[in-house]
Amino acid sequence: MTILKLIKIEWFKTFSKTRTYISFAAIFVVLALTFIGIIYDSGDFIEKTPTFNFLNSNFIIKGNIVNGYFISQLIMYFLMVHIPFLIALVAGDIVAGESNAGTFRIMLIRPPSRFQILISKAIVSLLYSMLLIAFMGILSICFGVLIFGVGDLLVVSKGFLIISRHDVFFRFLLAYPLAMISMMVVASLAFLFSVLVENAIGPIVGTMAVVVISVIITETPITLFQKIRPFLFTTYSKVWEFSFLQPIPVNSIITSVLYLFVFMFIFFAIAFIIFMRKDILS
Amino acid sequence: MNSDTDNTILNTYNVTKRFGRYFAVDDLNLSVDRGDIFGFLGPNGAGKSTTIRMMLDLVRPTHGTIKIFGQLLRVHRRQILNRVGALIEKPRFYEYLSARKNLTILAKLANIDPAMEVDRTLDIVGLLDRADQKVKAFSDGMKQRLGIAQALLGEPKFIILDEPTTGLDPKGMIDIRNLISELSTQNLTIFLSSHLLHEVEQICNKMAIINNGKLIRQGEVDNLIANCLHLKVDNIEKTAEILKNIDWIQRFENEKSEFRVYMSKNRSADLNRILVESGVGVFSLHQQLLLEDYFLSVIETSELVHDDIFIK
């Protein structure tokens, strides 16, 4: 039994469950609500922000700031908390769900080794995460551009940066793969929790608790937190933001990606070590 | 004494499983030969399920080794499990999938072509007409049948069944018993763990009894349950002296004037004659035939098995 066959079986099982489609539906609904809300507001929400007021009072703005690219980039901030929850829904269930259902009793008495079975599940949870982010990206950019049109992208980051409309799409082509990597770390954390417990709720709650606390520590400017930040994966999770800087800080991207892969490796390694030794008593 | 020959399908050597300070299985030595229908008995919590899970590599023994088909389980796991089918307690399936899809997945995991095999096993257990129904709509009895179907995938040579008739109605129980008996005629070896003693008595040729993780008895069913004689006499000391000197008596125990004598088959008339000729008054003598009585008495005394006493 090859790993590829096991992945196909695992993929089939995952996409036979209703829960898998909840995440896609949730993204669709959130995006739809966001677009509807912005249309309803006629972009007023931007004009109410202090940043825009500052811009407006000091510069003459020509063109449309609230364009498809601007909204798509804004939506990427859902990656901080909302999307990790949707990732954990599936990655947290992929092992714990089988333990809870008792189906490991019929699965692990077959010839494929525990290692093969677990690695197929790990790969499927990563592929699922990538698919979810790709779905989000395609939907937000396509519908964003369709509804709000194209334009230059205004980026607020240590100042103001305008990225030409001809350049923005390629920035997204870099940003989304980087976002996939950061969400794959969330998937690996949810996967680890999934191996530790025998119900699917625990991994979801556990993953979200870690993500939320880590984001708070990462984003809060407290001296003590600065010492903890290097050890949190959320410190490197916003690596996709580098895609919208000028010049693109390649070294920073590489460093962040490497750290993210290290976190992913650690989470998966612990999961594998535990699972290989685990007694299946359920 | 365990026999490690080509004819031996399963051997466990001093298998022990400890959870913290608790010994779920303690120094277990089992031997199952080719073609046996082997009954595995014990009260709740005796260690039966833990033993079965160790045989299937779901639980790792703390000590000891397990050989199946003459091969070490921990080394040749894949080759062994390719030829083993098992049903562990209440079977669980992917409830959001149909019976056919569940078995197809399991067949593919075992590199079995599901095309004909899935329908074959569903037909054996009488679920072919419900093959495309989702398992969540199945009754417990139907799930149990499906569990047996998955154990039969790939025509295994060694089948392990843990409580296979749980949840079945009386007709279903009879059907499963008949199925097990039929399977045994196909040169299959069956390891059957059951609470239903009369079930074991009816279909098993060999059995083992465990209690508190320890092996209490092991051997052929006919010998184990037919060779226990209950004896009531008028002279305890003289009787004990006589019994010690008879070589076809394996052992005996007594409580007041009542003896339990474990001996070779069909010697009760001989024993009666010897006792009477020696001047012992025999008030009653009856053969213990029911496995249930035997089981209960064995569990109560929980004597450890001795190699020189019983293994055939």
Task: Kindly list the domain boundaries of chain B, sorted by start residue.
Answer: 8-219, 227-310
> What is the number of alpha carbons within 13 Å of residue B30 lying toward its C-beta?
32
pTM of the entire predicted model: 0.84
- Asked if B260 contacts B252 with a C-beta cutoff of 8 angstroms, the reply is yes
Question: Distance between CA B147 and CA A111 in Å, rounded?
Answer: 18
Res B306: pLDDT: 41
CA distance B155 to chain A (A): 14
H-helix or E-strand spanning residue B311: none
Cα–Cα distance measured from residue B200 to residue B291, given in angstroms and rounded to the nearest whole number: 8
A56–chain B Cβ distance below 8 A for any pair: no
Contact check, Cβ <8 Å, A13/B109: no
Q: Does B96 touch chain A (CB under 8 A)?
A: yes
- B78 to chain A, closest Cα gap in Å: 5
Name residues whose C-beta falls within 8 Å of residue A246's C-beta, 6 or more positions apart in sequence. A161, A163
Residue B216 has pLDDT above 60, yes or no: yes
Buried b (16+ CB within 10 A) or exposed e, B131-147: beebbeebeebbbbbbb
For A63-88, what is the mean pLDDT? 86
Position of tokens 């892969």?
A: A261
pLDDT at A19: 86
CATH level 3 topology of B227-310 = Alpha-Beta Plaits (3.30.70)
Q: What is the 3-state secondary structure (H, E, C) of A11-47?
A: HHHHCCCHHHHHHHHHHHHHHHHHHHHHHHHCCHHHH
pLDDT of residue B308: 33
CA distance B131 to A11: 22
Nearest neighbour of A16 by CB, restricted to B97, B108, B109:
B97
When the pLDDT of each residue in chain A is averaged and rounded to a whole number, the result is 90
Q: Among A132, A183, A8, A178, which residue's Cα sits nearest to residue B104?
A: A8
> Among all chains, which residue has been given the structure tokens 């590829």?
A4
Look at A22-36, A163-177, B242-256 and tell me which has the smallest mean pLDDT. B242-256
Residue of B nearest to A10 (CA): B105
- The verdict on A82 touching B (C-beta cutoff 8 Å) is no
Q: State which residue of chain B sits closest to A107, comparing Cα positions.
A: B106
Nearest CA in chain A to B82: A111
**Which residue of B91, B93, B108 is in closest CB contact with A9?**
B108
β-pairing, B282-288 vs B249-255, is unpaired
Least confident of A10-19, A97-106, B199-208, B282-291: B282-291
- In the stretch 109-138 of chain A, residues with CB closer than 8 A to chain B read 109-113
The HSE-up count of residue A27 (CA atoms within 13 Å, CB side) is 28
**Topology of B8-219 in CATH?**
Rossmann fold (3.40.50)
For residues A261 and B305, which has the higher predicted lDDT (pLDDT)?
A: A261
Please list the residues that pair with B40 across neighbouring strands: B193, B208
Question: Distance, in angstroms, between A263 CA and closest chain B CA?
Answer: 29
A63 DSSP 8-state letter? S
Q: Which residues of A43-73 are buried (b: 16+ CB within 10 A; e: fewer)?
A: beebeeeeebeebeeeeeeeeebbbbbbbbb
Helix (H, G, I), strand (E, B) or coil at B209: strand
Q: Does A43 touch chain B (CB under 8 A)?
A: no
Residues of chain A in contact with residue B96, where contact means CB-CB under 8 angstroms, are 16-18
- pLDDT single digits (tens) B127-145: 999 999 999 999 888 898 8
Residue B305: what pLDDT? 46
CB < 8 Å to A106, chain B:
88, 91-93, 106, 147, 150
Q: Token match 């499906």: residue?
A: B146
* B185 pLDDT above the threshold of 60: yes
Helix (H, G, I), strand (E, B), or coil: what is residue A155?
strand
B84: exposed, middle or buried (C-beta count within 10 Å: 0-12, 13-18, 19+)? buried
B256 close to A (CB below 8 A): no
List chain A domain ranges: 3-18+78-138+164-277
Chain B residues with CB under 8 Å of A13 CB are 94, 97, 105
The pLDDT of residue B311 is above 70: no
What is the interface size between A and B, counted as CB pairs within 8 Å?
78
Flag whether pLDDT at B287 surpasses 80. Answer: no
pLDDT at residue B307 above 60?
A: no
Q: Is the CB of residue A175 less than 8 Å from the CB of residue A244?
A: yes
A109-122 pLDDT tens trace? 999 999 999 999 99
- pLDDT (0 to 100) of residue B4: 46
Identify the H or E element spanning B141.
helix B140-151
In this prediction, residue B25 carries a pLDDT of: 95
ipTM of model over 0.95: no
Interface contact flag, A103 B96, Cβ < 8 Å: no
Alpha-carbon separation of residue B45 from B50, B95, B190, B214, B291 (angstroms): 9, 28, 22, 11, 20
Tally: H helices and E strands in chain B: 12, 15
- List strand residue ranges (DSSP E) for chain B, in order: 8-19, 22-28, 31-33, 37-41, 63-68, 71-72, 84-87, 158-162, 189-193, 206-211, 214-220, 228-233, 249-255, 258-263, 282-288
What is the arithmetic mean of pLDDT over A12-18? 93
Inter-CA distances, B185 with B157, B178, B190, Å? 12, 11, 11
Helix A114-148 vs helix A3-14: crossing angle, to nearest 10: 50
* pLDDT bracket for residue B299 (50, 70, 90): confident
CA distance A27 to chain B (A): 24
Nearest to B81 among A18, A103, A110 (CB): A110
pLDDT at B272 over 80: yes
Mean pLDDT of B26-40: 94
Give me the helices (H) in chain A, please. Answer: 3-14, 18-41, 44-47, 50-58, 68-75, 82-91, 96-101, 104-107, 114-148, 165-196, 201-219, 223-228, 234-237, 250-277
Interior/surface letters B266-275, b for 16+ CB within 10 angstroms, e for the rest: ebbeebeeeb
- A156: three-class secondary structure by DSSP: strand
Residue type at B254 in one-letter notation: N
- Residue-level pLDDT at A164: 86
| CA atoms of B64 and B80, how far apart (whole Å) | 18
Distance of alpha carbon B115 from alpha carbon B107, whole angstroms: 9
State whether residue B74 sits within 8 Å of chain A by CB: no
The more confident residue out of B184 and A10 is A10
Would you say B209 and B294 are in contact if contact means Cβ atoms under 8 Å apart?
A: no
Which of A105, A107, A108, A281 would you mutate first to test chain B, the one with the most B CBs within 10 A? A105
Q: Are A97 and A200 in contact (CB under 8 A)?
A: yes
User: Is the peptide bond between A247 and the residue preceding it cis, with omega within 30 degrees of 0?
Assistant: yes
